[in-house]
Amino acid sequence: MLTIGVVGSQQFIAEISKYYGHYPTYKLISYTYTSPRELNTLIERAVKECNFLLFSGIIPYHYAKKQLDQYPIGSSYLSFNENMVALSLLAIHYHHSFKLSEMSIDLPRKRFLEGVLNEAGITEDADYVKEYPWIYDFQEERQLSIEDFVEFHSVLYEQKKTAFALTSIHAVYDKLQAKGIPSMFMVQSVPTLMEGLEKATTLAKLNQSKNSQVAAVCFNSNRNDQLEHFAKALQAKVTPSDSGLQMVLSNRGVLQTLILNQKLADLLNDTTNDFEKTAVGIGYGYTVKEAETHAITAFDFAEKNRSKLDLAVYLLDEEKKLTGPLFQNEEQYSLKNEDPVVKKLSAELKMSSKNISRFINFLQVNDFRPFSSQELADYFSISRRSAERMIKKLLDQQSLQVAGEEQPYDQGRPRSLYQAGSMLKGLSENKNGS
């Protein structure tokens, strides 16, 4: 049974845990924090107990991202969307009758609010809005200051410029409540919570499939003591291959952990310290034969570059993507001939072949079920508008077709659903067969 850790504030966990029972084939564990700064300790526990992590939103995910990169564990977060803003404004209007000009609002991007107002035909402006769009740039080393947002809302309220605060940050809501400032945390609807859980279960299965792949390692040493030393460190075994090379067989999860924690280079150096120049090939595959074949191909590339490096390590994965030399200025190449239809579609749609391939993967993950623009946006980690533009291109080329509409739990406007046309289904079948 796969274990999914759900990470969030006490308020979030109280809401989402109501729906754990919808997924009886998964074990769901809650990890509660009062401030994102507490995440380090929680993550240390969670990565040992879970196969996948679902975060309540972009903020805790941002705080945890650097730490998560050290482990071969999959993760996702609930996306912020216009529906949350619309439901929150409706609740405030209905229960408190405040105008936009009487509220202070914080949210990841101001355009979420502007989009709701434009679509609803509301001409009133929100005067006091604080956004934090940089949170989506995971390359940026920057921490979100809870105190800055608490001060933003508090000062406006104390100066009687506002009468109510709407926040997208649980820790800010807790502090505003403690100060006695009328406030509300943005509404997370049932569909949003359910979609988050559905996405987590789907991605958890994919992640397990990858981590359980066979990993084969071969290098230019025939000394059994060295091979056994290396295999023991990986809790693996040494086996001869048809090529005549000795292979160490493990699994992808173990190798990925060593690579991410920068321990594989030290281990290889210790194992091969009698050699001036060392070539190492690593292969991933769904079967032992596939992993061994990929390891030998990677080894051939390493051999060609051994004269230039003390330790030449190349890795070839199940998609025939070659990465190397590892631990150096590594680059990635594709050794798989790209489908000419993908190239043709890429040119017609003015989309990269990579995005076409990712889109096909998205269809496969969803078993070709009808999907919404929000589901596509979540998969690509892009805005819903960007997803809608992608869908429009595919509709114009008749690669997609409209499958109907979905009423999201009787709340909000019906959402259009789309499904793949015959060309994309054919591409998927070719891809699986390659």
pLDDT > 80? residue 141 = no
Report residue 432's pLDDT band, with 50, 70 and 90 as the boundaries: very low
SS3 assignment for 286-346 = CCHHHHHHHHHHHHHHHHHCHHHCCEEEEEECCCCEEEECCCCCCEEEECCCCCHHHHHHH
355 against 423, higher pLDDT? 355
Strands 311-316 and 278-285: parallel
CATH for 82-187 (1.10.1760, 3.40.50, 1.10.10, 2.60.40): 3.40.50
Q: What are phi and psi of 30, to 5 degrees?
A: -90, 135
pLDDT > 70? residue 434 = no
What letter does residue 141 receive in the DSSP assignment? -
Separation CA 434–CA 430 (nearest Å)? 6
Least-confidence region, from 32-36, 46-50, 131-135: 32-36
CATH of domain 340-433: 1.10.10.10
Separation CA 179–CA 345 (nearest Å)? 57
* Torsion, Cα of 304, 306, 309, 311 (10° steps): 120
What is the pLDDT at residue 125? 87
Name 219's bridge partners.
280
Q: Does 2-78+191-209 match 212-334 in CATH topology?
A: no
Report residue 312's pLDDT band, with 50, 70 and 90 as the boundaries: confident
Say how many CA atoms lie within 13 Å of 350 toward its Cβ: 4
Paired tokens of 262: 């920068």
Read off the pLDDT of each residue in 50-78 and give the average, rounded to a whole number. Answer: 89
Strands 183-185 and 164-167: parallel
Domain residue spans in the chain?
Answer: 2-78+191-209, 82-187, 212-334, 340-433
What is the pLDDT at residue 164? 97
Q: What is the pLDDT of residues 201-246, one digit of tens each?
A: 988 887 787 778 889 998 766 667 777 878 888 878 777 766 667 7
Least-confidence region, from 281-285, 405-409, 429-433: 429-433
CB 265 within 8 A of CB 327: yes
What is the number of other CB atoms lying within 10 angstroms of the CB of residue 148? 12
Its pTM stands at 0.62
What is the pLDDT at residue 336? 59
> In CATH terms, is domain 2-78+191-209 a member of 2.40.128.20?
no
The topology (CATH level 3) of 212-334 is Alpha-Beta Plaits (3.30.70)
What is the pLDDT at residue 433? 45
pLDDT > 70? residue 354 = no
Q: What is the pLDDT of residues 15-31, one digit of tens each?
A: 999 999 999 999 999 99
Report residue 49's pLDDT band, with 50, 70 and 90 as the boundaries: very high
What is the pLDDT at residue 426? 60
Cis before residue 408, ω within 30 degrees of 0? no
Q: How far is CA 187 from CA 83, 87, 169, 172, 192, in A?
A: 9, 6, 11, 15, 10
pLDDT > 70? residue 409 = no
